[in-house]
Amino acid sequence: MKISELSKRTGVSARSLRYYEEKELLHSARTDNGYRDYDESTVDQVRTIQLYFSLGLNSDQISQVVNCDPIVFPYDKLVCSEVIEVYKEKISEVSQQIEELKAIQSRLEERMVLTLRSLEAEKEKHQLAIRDEGQC
């Protein structure tokens, strides 16, 4: 199948498919006129690559594990230790990002409280000024 058909069937742009090939995540044959020719199994390969991207892996990490993940290839391949290591690294990275986001959230909440207090103080000050003007 041509790249345009693979793109339609997977919902992945032709540009991304070329990138996957450049990163050696996909392979295609070439026709006599130089067009890429993908076999039917490529549809599943692209979906697998998309799954890994949705897990937050980058193309280098995906290339380490794409052909040896037991969930993707339960009957064909043995588990590669790289899969476990990549997953551990990603889990650690995500955990660190969560901690950073929690710290940002805490700082934002503190700023919001300080801003609300400041607004309330200004409002109260303004109301006192209006009241004092009315008493003169």
**Torsion, Cα of 10, 12, 14, 20 (10° steps):** -100
Task: Retrieve residue 11's tokens.
Answer: 């919902």
- Distance of alpha carbon 73 from alpha carbon 129, whole angstroms: 75
Strand 29-30 relative to strand 36-37, pairing? antiparallel
Task: Retrieve residue 93's tokens.
Answer: 């990275």
Mean pLDDT along residues 57-78: 70
Q: Which residues contact 52 (CB under 8 A, 6 or more apart)?
A: 61, 62, 65, 66
pTM (whole model) above 0.75:
no
Residue 36's nearest CA partner among 7, 9, 66 is 7
* 5-9, 58-62, 67-71, 131-135, range with the lowest pLDDT: 67-71
Model pLDDT for residues 74-116, shown as the tens digit of each residue: 545 555 777 788 889 999 999 999 999 999 999 999 999 999 9
